[in-house]
Structure 1
Amino acid sequence: MSIFTIFSLLGGVGLFLFGMTMMSTGLRNACGSNLQGILEKATKNRFLAILVGVGVTMLIQSSSATDVMVIGFVNSGMMTLAQAIGIIMGANIGTTITAQITAFSLSNFTPLLLFGGVVLYVFVKHSFIKHVGSIIMGFGMLFQGIIIMKAAIAPLSQTQGFADFMTTLSNPVLALLFGVAFTALLQSSSSSIVIFQAFAVEGILTYDIAIYLIIGAAIGSVTPNLLASLTANRNGKRTALLNLLFNLIRAGILIAIINIAPGVLELIQSLSPGDIGRQIANTHTIFAIVAVLIEAPFAGLIIKLTRRIVPVLPEETQKLEDRELKYMNVAANMPTAVALGQAHMEIARMGRIAYKNLQNAVECFFSGDSELAAKVKEREETVDILNQEIGKKMVMLRSLGLTDKDLERVSLMTIASTDIERVSDHAENIVEYNELLTARRAKMSEVARAELREMSDTMLESLEIALEIFENEDYSKIPQLYELEDQVDQFENDLISNHVERLMHSSCDPTAGVVFSDIVTDIERCGDHAINIANSLRGKLIEEGKEI
């Protein structure tokens, strides 16, 4: 076997992988954001989630891509582990379709696929048609890669060294480990199964060895998800672990079945006698379906095991409690006054969470605490979720037959909720300013930091008073609030003037200067939101404590 044959084999593998990537990317681009929307909504029951996992993975030809999206949803709190496991199970079935497709002999049509795909991709300007072209071109590259691989693999059967290596795989344990390692290297079970198919068609692999390679490939396919979870929170890590546990249990189940009832393999082979490529594809699909059917009823136990390995911390429990509505329980027979009171308390609770977030953001800016920054971003997601849930309940309130006065109060509380949500947005902005300074290695002068600290403290005091006014509807502190707001506005004018002067004397880092201006603006806007929150339930403008 010459070095050029090895180059040819590597080139075939590369072309196949690139074709898979192009096809997957084209499918995702053609579908737009619909795939993510489907994944988010299709978790009402586990059976539907499994079907969606199958369908989406068939479309994008990548269980890893589906699983990574699921990790992102769980990481952001939009999906629970109980919802995620169904999609993960479905993805394990959907990924077997690639092997089914490649089991067909399409070598005569590959040049036509390549030509048609290139024409659509290069000469058509409509974006959707271009994406379709990239899908067709990806299919063509995929099959052309297989053709090149088969041509390069043929001489391997005559090579003694390679034959000796393949003999070692007759040991089921070694075959299983090789399947895990090879798939982890390629980061795609679809790719490794297709390569195993090519080896088997050329007579290098036997069906008995391929069985254990298939089982190992399912375990190795979890590698991209484990890597993606490294930067995720604990829930994201649990999702990746959930996938790993599912595939480890799957491996144990399948090994037990084929050893206890070897006739199962003979039955699968009998579906496509004499066609080992199709036999491997069928085995891959049937194994996936059987594993899902057996494990689906025990999904709750797999989730419990996942949580035992990565325990739920007290702060995670608190986060989950924060993201659930505590007071609002809109019911058709509920007295209007009670429903409105519950809404008021829920929004006030959200206000306290947003206030805490702003406090932490300011502290993070001056301390540079990265853990505090992560908490601010998590709490910002909490406020966003609460705002959305409260908004949905407020819409339901309108169906209770409210009076015009009550409808006005619902509208005013909805506006207050929006102001509170914006306060939390500014908290996230402040944290990002600190990250920008760190990334650019820019330093802000101690004078500038002291000015910002004083302005921030004044703004936080005004927001604290505004929330008290909102909660108690006691407007006796309105004059004090407006006095603090005037101070914040004066700080803005003074700090910007001082900043310009520092710039003129070249005593200010350019990046730090931009951050300084931005954070002053954010602090001033938080002061404005404080005024809006304090006055929101009155429905009237207040100036210096007097109605106008």
Structure 2
Amino acid sequence: MSIWNVINLAGGLAMFIFGMNLMSDGLKLVAGSYLKKILEKLTKNRIIAMMVGAGLTALIQSSNAMCVMVVGFVNAGMMQLERSVGILMGAKIGTTITGQLIAFNISEIAPVIAFVGVAITMFSKKPKVKNVGQIIASLGVLFIGLGTMSAAMKPLAGEVWFQSLLQKFSNPILCVIIGVIFTVIIQSASASVGVLQMLALSGVMAFPGAFPQAFYIMLGMNIGASVAPALASLGGRKDAKRVAFIVILFESIGMVLFMILTQIFPVIFDWILNTAPGNPTRQIANANTIFNLVTVAILLPCAKYLVKISEFVIRGEDDKEEAALHYIDESGYQSGTVLIGQIDQEVGRMHSLVRENMEASTKVYFGNMTISKEQFERNEEAVDFLNKEIVAALIRTNQLGVSEKEATHAGNLYHIVTDLERIGDHAENVLGYALQMKEDKRKFSDKALKNLKELSQAVYKIYDLACEHFSNPSEELYRVIYDLEADIDKMVDKMRASNSKRLSKMKCEAVQGLYFNEILVDLERVADHSLNIAQAAKKYEIYDEDEDL
């Protein structure tokens, strides 16, 4: 085998992996915005969840990506641990489609497929059509890489030293270890199995004699694929770690089961070989499919026990700190869809913290401190922290590649976190005035307190409605928010005029009057930012009833 064969082998492998990743990215761009909704709605039943997991994984052509997405959704609290098991098992079935696709071996027409895909990408102006072009082009690149690898490997079949080396790898455990290591290196079970198929196709692994070795290597490749979700769970919540553990447990049980069965009943190898006589690539693809189907059939009814084992191994609950990310973790940085879902959850936290502080800052004027000053400060610190981290995460979504709909949602999230952070600052101002007045032993008049209570209630309402509208936009709700913001402006004008009268008639001191005006400014700004939040979700054209249209 010459140096040029080695270079061609490396280049072919690079094109194969690049094509596979490019195809996965293109498929996720086409379907990514729907994945979250599908996973949320169709995972209550284990059988349906398994079918959904298989279908979606076949669609995006990556069990690693699907498992990482599930880890991310569980970490974000968007999916329960029990519901994730069916999807994880389905993902293992779905990923076998890649091997079946490779077994067709359409390398001869691969350049034409790549050309058609590139042409669609270059000449189409619609993003969705461009994504379809990317999928077609990547499929062509994938098979060009496979053809290059196969041609580069053929000289190895005649190398005595290489055949001697293969004979030393006859130990099943050693073959499993080789499969694990290889998959950990290239981070894709589908790509690993594809390389194994090319070794068989080129005659480097001579079938049927070398089929048992290939089978055990394939078992190791499946275990190696569980490393990606394990890495994605690092730094996540304990349920996310349990998901990763279940993936490893599933693959390990399947591997041990098939190693025992094939040692006791070697005829299993003959059965698999007879599914596609004389077609080594299809035989490996079928072996991979059979392994995953049988393992799922055995373990799916035991899903609740896998969950219990994971809870026994990974015990306890998560410690919650306000100024920390509770949902965004490493799994999010591998999928734009997952990351946006996690950001949604963090924004929900931010909304709750701001709401708690806003209410505390106004109720203190009536002698009702709903939370301690220390808790208020921790909340404000957490809001500032979340604002910074969420903005950084939103910037990352551009690098990960998201659909047009998801990109628009990410832009809206940027605006909402900015408004939430500013509302938090206004709440801090309002509390500061109260604490200063308490220190100076000053109080508002009964009329001022009545006005403050009325305005506070209106501000709570518009804030809550705005956040509701952001989650579920509707024209009717937007109209209510729009009108309420106008009413608050009028309310503030009247209260400001009333405050001026009290000052002119010496019914309150100038300092109290100044504080009252500052509070009016802050609460009016809260209403303005609340309207901004609603507009970030969806802005509707509003016309006055008497306006001539």
TM-score higher than 0.5 here? yes
* 2:378 alignment partner, one of 335, 348, 363: 363
Q: Is the 8 A contact 1:357 1:427 kept in 2?
A: no
Taking the aligned partners of 2:25 and 2:372, their CA distance within structure 1 comes to: 38
* 1:240 alignment partner, one of 239, 244, 252: 244
Report what 2:234 is aligned to: 230
Distance 1:284 1:492, change over 3 A: farther
Does 1:306 pair with 2:310? yes
Taking the aligned partners of 1:9 and 1:488, their CA distance within structure 2 comes to: 80
Taking the aligned partners of 2:79 and 2:513, their CA distance within structure 1 comes to: 42
Taking the aligned partners of 1:358 and 1:429, their CA distance within structure 2 comes to: 18
Q: Is the 8 A contact 2:5 2:152 kept in 1?
A: yes
For the residue of structure 1 that corresponds to 2:117, the secondary structure is helix
For the residue of structure 1 that corresponds to 2:234, the secondary structure is helix
| Residues 269-288 of structure 1: pairs in structure 2 closer than 5 A | 269-288=273-292
Taking the aligned partners of 2:286 and 2:372, their CA distance within structure 1 comes to: 54
Report what 1:64 is aligned to: 64
Percent of paired sites with the same residue: 34
For the residue of structure 2 that corresponds to 1:78, the secondary structure is coil
Report what 2:33 is aligned to: 33
Per-residue Cα deviation, 1:84-115 (whole angstroms, up to 9, x for no partner): 01000000000001110111131222122112
- Partner amino acid for 1:175? C
Distance 1:97 1:77, change over 3 A: same
Report what 2:117 is aligned to: 117
Q: Per-residue deviation at 1:461? A: 12
Distance 1:493 1:256, change over 3 A: farther
Does 1:80 pair with 2:80? yes
Report what 2:467 is aligned to: none
Report what 1:289 is aligned to: 293
Report what 1:16 is aligned to: 16
For the residue of structure 1 that corresponds to 2:128, the secondary structure is helix
Q: Is the 8 A contact 2:238 2:317 kept in 1?
A: no
Q: Is the 8 A contact 1:74 1:80 kept in 2?
A: yes
Report what 2:156 is aligned to: 156
Distance 1:368 1:35, change over 3 A: closer
Q: How many residues align?
A: 396
Q: Is the 8 A contact 2:99 2:193 kept in 1?
A: yes
Taking the aligned partners of 2:513 and 2:165, their CA distance within structure 1 comes to: 77
Report what 1:194 is aligned to: 194
For the residue of structure 1 that corresponds to 2:106, the secondary structure is coil
Q: Is the 8 A contact 2:420 2:529 kept in 1?
A: no
Q: Is the 8 A contact 2:238 2:318 kept in 1?
A: no
For the residue of structure 1 that corresponds to 2:26, the secondary structure is helix
Report what 1:132 is aligned to: 132
| Residues 275-424 of structure 1: pairs in structure 2 closer than 5 A | 275-313=279-317, 360=375, 362-363=377-378
Report what 1:525 is aligned to: 526
Report what 1:203 is aligned to: 203
Q: Is the 8 A contact 1:365 1:430 kept in 2?
A: no
Does 1:429 pair with 2:421? yes
For the residue of structure 2 that corresponds to 1:272, the secondary structure is coil
Larger RCO (CA within 8 A; separation ≥ 6): 2
Taking the aligned partners of 1:195 and 1:170, their CA distance within structure 2 comes to: 19
- Partner amino acid for 2:64? S
Taking the aligned partners of 1:72 and 1:431, their CA distance within structure 2 comes to: 29
For the residue of structure 2 that corresponds to 1:271, the secondary structure is coil
Q: Is the 8 A contact 2:151 2:202 kept in 1?
A: no
Q: Is the 8 A contact 1:459 1:527 kept in 2?
A: no
Per-residue Cα deviation, 1:174-205 (whole angstroms, up to 9, x for no partner): 11001011001111000000100111122222
Distance 1:246 1:367, change over 3 A: closer
Q: TM-score, normalised by structure 2?
A: 0.63
Q: Per-residue deviation at 1:258? A: 1.7
- Partner amino acid for 2:265? A
Taking the aligned partners of 1:459 and 1:524, their CA distance within structure 2 comes to: 18
For the residue of structure 2 that corresponds to 1:274, the secondary structure is coil
Taking the aligned partners of 1:301 and 1:86, their CA distance within structure 2 comes to: 13
Q: Is the 8 A contact 1:36 1:69 kept in 2?
A: no
Q: Per-residue deviation at 1:233? A: 2.0
RMSD: 4.1
Per-residue Cα deviation, 1:412-460 (whole angstroms, up to 9, x for no partner): xxxxxxxxxxxx9789737999xxxxxxxxxxxxxxxxx9967545579
Distance 1:525 1:300, change over 3 A: same
Q: Per-residue deviation at 1:73? A: 1.2
For the residue of structure 2 that corresponds to 1:313, the secondary structure is coil
Taking the aligned partners of 2:424 and 2:173, their CA distance within structure 1 comes to: 50
- Partner amino acid for 2:62? S
Taking the aligned partners of 2:373 and 2:108, their CA distance within structure 1 comes to: 64
Per-residue Cα deviation, 1:353-384 (whole angstroms, up to 9, x for no partner): 996699746326569998xx79x99xxxxxxx
For structure 2, list consecutive stretches of 5 or more residues without a partner in the other structure.
321-351, 361-370, 391-415, 438-446, 460-495, 497-510, 531-549
Does 1:92 pair with 2:92? yes
For structure 1, list consecutive stretches of 5 or more residues without a partner in the other structure.
317-347, 378-423, 434-450, 463-474, 496-519, 530-548
Distance 1:68 1:528, change over 3 A: closer
